[in-house]
Structure 1
Amino acid sequence: MFTRMPTRQIWNSLTCFCTFAPNLITSLTIINPKSKERTGKVEDKSKILRTAPVDMAIVRTNFLTWKMKVRSAANGIGSWEDVFPNEPEKSQIGRWIQNVGDKLYSQEPVYQEFKQMHAHLHHFVGQIYELARLGEKEHLKQMLDEFDKQCEDFLKMIDSYKLVMDSYREQGFSPQIPSSLLSSIRRVK
């Protein structure tokens, strides 16, 4: 017999999944420093650098998780702690931008647009945070509706960026990066 799961339990399960799934996916796609011990082969760091840090499926998942956290915090259910209003450099995508994106893709117009839109969203969330803090519920609802539209635009940007990266891979493009950067690559969190 089918029993209905309580709404709170569904919400908790969804929150747990959205919190841990991106980290699990990321950990499965990043360089394993013990690969030689496990497989007997040394992984090609430049190949992994071109694929794993730019895995747009992970970017999309992280972004959708962040969007859910923003809405939860704005509605008083979640915390603003992991949302980083007005601080785009502290988010997962922001850290990737600083640690990898700026070094490899800064010359690409689509990357620059991606980076600007990411920063804009964090500053827009800063406005949402202020409205929530002040208890401006009606204006907050309007801002959340606008936030949803901007998130859709950002998801389209992620898709565009993925097309550009896929095109580069098909053409055999690989970013030219100094060996010092390759040797210092760490897991992107």
Structure 2
Amino acid sequence: MKCHLCEEKPCSKGRPCLEKDSKPLYKDPEEAKIFKVAAEVEALYYCELCRLEEIIEFARRMNYRKIGLAFCIGLAEEARVVGEILSKEFEVSSVCCKIGGLKKEEFEMPLRPWIGRVTCNPAEQARVLEEEGCQLLVVMGLCVGHDSIFYRHAKAPVTTLLVKDRKLGHNPAAAIYCRYIRNNLNYNPKERRQEEGEA
């Protein structure tokens, strides 16, 4: 499939170019409910709610009472604000990416003075939020790849509130919408090297 190259998008008009029997994919009662509630939130509040408000409304309609935040330590202040907002209505558990204090040397990871010696621990983040009985997990700025591990280990439904993009102020869509950025995408990045004498 190369749907990104299709100009007509006939699927969106009920005329799919490829017939698929997708209905059986939503037989699981919880997934069927998530599927329906997501459509309700979209239909009832289209262009009326920001992403955070949509998460709150989705959680309400799913009757979730406990929300888990999995956040990057670099977004600790943002996680505090989101936690305060969600705590007005839900029980909130949160877990920072550095939980467990795993040393990078233990995994033969590169060491650089500007990023520290402790690695992120996304599998543990997922496990802790599972142990705490969270019904909905909200990701805030986990690194590319670390987020993938978190999603794989998560048992509860996961949604993403914030995506980390250090270069573009956590707005990765700017690389798509802004032609100046898009025309200057760095396809052959130069690795940042440790300077002489840095420890």
TM-score, normalised relative to structure 2: 0.23
When you count strand as a share of all residues, which structure comes out higher?
2
Looking at secondary structure, tell me which structure has more helix per residue: 1
TM-score (norm 1): 0.23
- Which is higher, the Rg of structure 1 or of structure 2? 2
The structure showing larger relative contact order (alpha-carbon pairs under 8 Å, at least 6 residues apart) is: 1
